[in-house]
Amino acid sequence: MPVEVILPKVDMDMATGKIVKWYVKDGDAVAKGMLLFEIETDKAAMEIDSPADGTISNITASEGAVVPVGEGVALIYQADETPSASKPVMHPLHPKLPEPRPDSAAALPTRAASGHILATPLARRLARLGRMDLKSIQGSGPRGRIMAGDVKQAPTPSVRPAAEQEDTSKHYEARTFDVAPLDGMRRAIAQRLTLSKQTIPHFYLTATCDLTNLLSMRESLNARAPVSEGKQPLWKLSINDFVIKAMALALRNVPDANVTWAGDSILKHHSSDMGVAVAVEGGLFTPVVRSAELKSLSQISVEMKDLASRARTRKLLPAEYQGGTTAISNLGMFGIEQFTAIINPPHATILAVGAGIERFVPVRGEPAPRTQMTCTLSCDHRAVDGAVAARLVAAFRSFIEEPALMLA
């Protein structure tokens, strides 16, 4: 029997994948582990290898096709097998969701004999948090069971119906704008952050940190960085590297803030896993520096540069951007002095970091130039109370203003 090549699930929330590029064609000989094709999800691009030796045939998904997880996209025939001569049914380039029909039982979520809608516990919780009616969501699981991905892909209550979205263009003259359809990443960001603002009770704490000592230490450490055989520094610390380390240590010192809201419980984390927002074309990724409280500044710097580079080319593995216990969003490099950030679920906090601005401030009664950085912590009040958040911000500021404490 030929071996079926299926579209694998490479992301926890993945329901479909887009075939970006095929590296083989019908009739090519392939070996197990050989690169077959590349897929793109809402969050990453992944290369898929051959599951067996043989001859590939019956490719059913051309480049650009969007294929459901688990669907077959080709067959691999063994040496003693003859590939099928029949023309395979191709996956559509732009698949349409099935339109519900009043006379079709498949148009409605499947119910058990008791009338209970079949849905996973996580799907029910997401629907409840998003104030969504399960009756309106089409399930993709066995027997029409509603999965978490079905809920995440369904329009949230704040997202206007398609008819209203089409009406928006009527307010503008024809040919005065271009229509940019939402790709998977932008749609996922819109739904995720809309859900965050709707369901997470945010509050904000702002503090201004003095960077005088940090800038001096950064210059000194960078000047002493080891060099490669080509005389290039093996690392170069950025202010963001210090911010990551300071926040990680602050969470270690204030463990009541290193938590996640889990509906009927609170998860108390053992390590400071720092998500760091990285801007990419069309959206952003939040790769995670694991156990950052245990890593040196140079380790954080090297790891973060690698993660950011692969995020921009969508080469991150799911394990490298999923999870995390908090996040940092730094817009200082764009000259933004202060802003607030939306919490990225499932985190309970996110730190918004502004630019270092030189100001004259009173020092022993006399004005003196100081570089100051304003940071704002957004908190989920369900999991983190004001006093706990205030202690976290104070701990963070102490590490920023006395950076030698990070080396202790």
- Mean of pLDDT values over 166-190: 80
* Across 91-115, average pLDDT: 46
Q: Would 89 be classed as within a structural domain?
A: no
Q: How confident is the model at residue 157 (pLDDT cuts 50, 70, 90)?
A: low
Q: Is the pLDDT of residue 97 over 50?
A: no
Domain contains 149: yes
Among residues 32, 52, 77, the one where a domain terminates is: 77
* Structural domains counted in the chain: 3
pLDDT > 90 fraction of the chain, expressed in percent and rounded: 50
Find the farthest-apart pair of alpha carbons in the chain and give their distance in angstroms, rounded: 90
Q: CB-based burial of residue 25 (10 Å sphere; 0-12 exposed, 13-18 middle, 19+ buried)?
A: exposed
Quick one: which H or E segment has residue 56? strand 54-57
Please confirm, yes or no, whether 94 is among the known catalytic residues.
Answer: no
Q: What is the pLDDT of residue 260?
A: 95
pTM assigned to the model: 0.67
Domain of residue 69, CATH code:
2.40.50.100
Of 29 and 154, which is predicted with more confidence? Answer: 29
Same domain assignment for residues 222 and 323: yes
Is residue 216 one of the residues assigned to a domain? yes
Is there a single domain that holds both residue 295 and residue 209? yes
Query: What is the dihedral angle through the alpha carbons of 307, 272, 401, 342, rounded to the nearest 10 degrees?
Result: 70
Average pLDDT over every residue of 166-191:
80
Out of 116, 202, 269, 381, which one is annotated catalytic?
Answer: 381
Does some domain include residue 323? yes
| Per-residue model confidence (pLDDT) at position 87 | 57
Give the tens place of pLDDT for each residue, 121-139.
Answer: 677 777 776 678 888 888 8
Of 385, 20, 358, 372, nearest to 214 by C-alpha is 372
Is the residue at 229 inside a domain? yes
Question: Residue 303 has what pLDDT?
Answer: 97
Which CATH number covers residue 336?
3.30.559.10
In a domain, 165, yes or no: no
Q: pLDDT tens, 348-380?
A: 999 999 999 999 988 888 999 999 999 999 999
- Residues with Cβ < 8 Å from 387, sequence gap 6 or more? none
Q: Is the pLDDT reported for residue 92 higher than 90?
A: no
Q: Please state which of the ranges 29-43, 74-88, 207-221, 328-342 shows the lowest mean pLDDT.
A: 74-88
Other Cβ atoms within 10 Å of 104 Cβ, number? 10
165 pLDDT higher than 90: no
Tokens of 21: 């590029």
**313 found inside a domain:** yes
Q: What per-residue confidence (pLDDT) applies to 70? A: 85
Distance between CA 48 and CA 156 in Å, rounded? 32
Q: Are residues 146 and 278 in the same domain?
A: no
**Residue 105, pLDDT above cutoff 50:** no
Using 50, 70 and 90 to split pLDDT, how confident is the model at 94?
low
Burial of residue 172, with CB atoms counted within 10 A of its CB: 0-12 exposed, 13-18 middle, 19 or more buried: exposed
Statement: residue 9 has pLDDT above 60: yes
Q: 233 Cβ partners below 8 Å, 6+ apart?
A: 222, 225, 226, 227
Mean per-residue pLDDT of the chain = 85
Residue 327 has pLDDT above 70, yes or no: yes
Q: State the residue range of the domain holding 73.
A: 3-77
Burial of 167 (0-12, 13-18, 19+ CB in 10 A): exposed
Q: What one-character DSSP code corresponds to residue 390?
A: H
Q: List, for residues 234-275, the tens digit of each pLDDT value.
A: 999 999 999 999 999 999 999 999 999 988 899 999 999 999
What is the token pair recorded at 249?
């240590």
Instruction: Report the Cα–Cα distance between both ends of the chain, in Å, rounded.
Output: 62
Q: What is the dihedral sign for C-alpha 231, 232, 234, 240? A: positive
Same domain assignment for residues 331 and 210:
yes
The residue that leads in pLDDT, 41 or 99, is 41
Mean of pLDDT values over 28-46: 84
Q: How confident is the model at residue 389 (pLDDT cuts 50, 70, 90)?
A: very high
pLDDT band, very low/low/confident/very high, at 102 (cuts 50, 70, 90): very low
Mean pLDDT of 153-178: 66
Verify that 26 and 127 share a domain, yes or no: no
How far apart CA 154 and CA 108 sit, in angstroms, is 14
pLDDT band at 140 (very low <50, low <70, confident <90, very high): confident
